């Protein structure tokens, strides 16, 4: 955008570096990059990043810095996809009845540059709580309708179910640079206590033995969750399940990018290690004009097969 408010599209192809992160529990894609640019731009308002003709990221600008040095301009930029708006907008607190993913979104906040899975199930109601976000409402709908956690597919598409065109990919010693195995216990909750209608916290309780067996003791006291009045166990277990997100993981780093996307399947063999039918739950793509690396991980957690 120039000083007169006129918007134009500029294609940049001299990339110093870039990195993209996509993850199944995060409702947006993150992008960072640096480019050599031919001139100064008054303001940058949007970023679309393309690899070999495939749109990989599309979002608004978090930061853009232009530097003039040694006879050329350098642009450093960071961006999060437009689906970030799901976590920034608060819909009106109310009971939404006869809910599909389509009408849950359309009857609340109108968002730009975001698409969604169509033809989803109808649930009786979604209770939009005070101070909750549109993403919170989408999560509640996905859990009620499918017992799954939603995710952002490709560029800004909200999905609950894996698309039919998800691909199966195979990698071997010729393309794999590194393999990974890891774990994190930082998000675990061991005990949840939910208040009942009499303001007691002794009625609704649950304990996560996975956390306790690892000497993690974290008690959470929560108010009565109106979303799950008909299924109070779900109010507790869904929080435990989310606290276990990405607890264990495995993955590979490969040379190149072949259009990998969340929920594609991948198999790999590297030395004596071999794994079949893994699912991409996290995807990191990085590189420059000269080389690209793709790192993919499968999470072994409560939502692995859901």
Amino acid 194: pLDDT: 96
Per-residue pLDDT for 67 more than 70? yes
pLDDT in tens, 213-244: 999 999 999 999 988 988 999 999 999 999 99
Domain with residues 15-84, CATH architecture: Roll (2.30)
Q: Which two tokens stand for residue 230?
A: 């008909």
pLDDT in tens, 143-182: 999 999 999 999 999 999 999 988 999 998 889 999 999 9
Which has the minimum average pLDDT: 1-15, 95-109, 176-190, 274-288? 1-15
CATH of 168-184+247-300, one of 3.90.1150.10, 3.30.70.420, 3.40.50.2300, 2.40.30.150: 2.40.30.150
Q: Which two tokens stand for residue 91?
A: 């819909």
How much of the chain exceeds pLDDT 70, in percent? 98
Query: Contact, 207 vs 224, CB < 8 A?
Result: no
Q: Which residues pair with 46 in a beta bridge?
A: 60
CA-to-CA distance for 149 and 104, rounded, in angstroms?
Answer: 16
Amino acid 183: pLDDT: 95
Q: Which two tokens stand for residue 68?
A: 């003039």
Buried b (16+ CB within 10 A) or exposed e, 255-266: eebeebbbbbbb
pLDDT in tens, 81-125: 999 999 999 998 999 999 999 999 888 778 899 999 999 999 999
**Domain ranges, ordered by start, for the chain:** 15-84, 85-159, 168-184+247-300, 191-235
Query: Contact, 19 vs 77, CB < 8 A?
Result: no
Predicted confidence band of residue 4 (pLDDT cuts 50, 70, 90): low
Amino acid 271: pLDDT: 78
Residue carrying the six token digits 């990195």: 19
């Amino acid at each position: 955008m120039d000083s007169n408010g006129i918007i134009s599209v500029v294609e940049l192809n001299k990339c110093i570096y870039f990195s993209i992160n996509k993850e199944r529990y995060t409702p947006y894609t993150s992008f960072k990059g640096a480019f050599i640019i031919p001139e100064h731009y008054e303001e940058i308002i949007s970023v679309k990043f393309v690899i070999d003709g495939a749109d990989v990221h599309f979002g608004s600008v978090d930061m853009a810095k232009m530097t003039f040095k040694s006879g050329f301009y350098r642009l450093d930029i960071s961006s999060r996809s437009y689906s970030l708006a799901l976590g920034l907008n608060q819909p009106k607190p109310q009971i939404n009845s006869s809910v599909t993913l389509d009408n849950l979104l359309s009857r609340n906040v109108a968002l730009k540059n975001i698409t969604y899975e169509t033809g989803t199930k109808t649930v009786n109601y979604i209770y939009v709580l005070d101070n909750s976000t549109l993403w919170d409402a989408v999560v509640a709908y996905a859990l009620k309708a499918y017992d799954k956690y939603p995710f952002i597919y490709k560029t800004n598409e909200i999905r609950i179910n894996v698309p039919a065109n998800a691909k199966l990919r195979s990698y071997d010693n010729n393309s794999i640079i590194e393999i990974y195995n890891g774990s994190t216990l930082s998000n675990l909750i061991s005990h949840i206590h939910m208040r009942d209608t009499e303001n007691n916290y002794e009625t609704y309780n649950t304990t996560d033995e996975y956390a306790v067996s690892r000497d993690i003791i974290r008690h959470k006291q929560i108010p009565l969750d109106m979303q799950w009045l008909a299924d109070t166990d779900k109010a507790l277990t869904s929080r435990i399940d989310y606290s276990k997100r990405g607890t264990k993981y495995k993955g590979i780093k490969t040379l190149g990018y072949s259009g990998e996307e969340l929920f594609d399947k991948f198999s790999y063999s590297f030395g004596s290690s071999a794994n079949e039918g893994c699912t991409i739950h996290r995807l990191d793509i990085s590189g420059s004009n000269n080389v690209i690396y793709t790192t993919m991980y499968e999470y072994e957690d409560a939502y692995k097969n859901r």
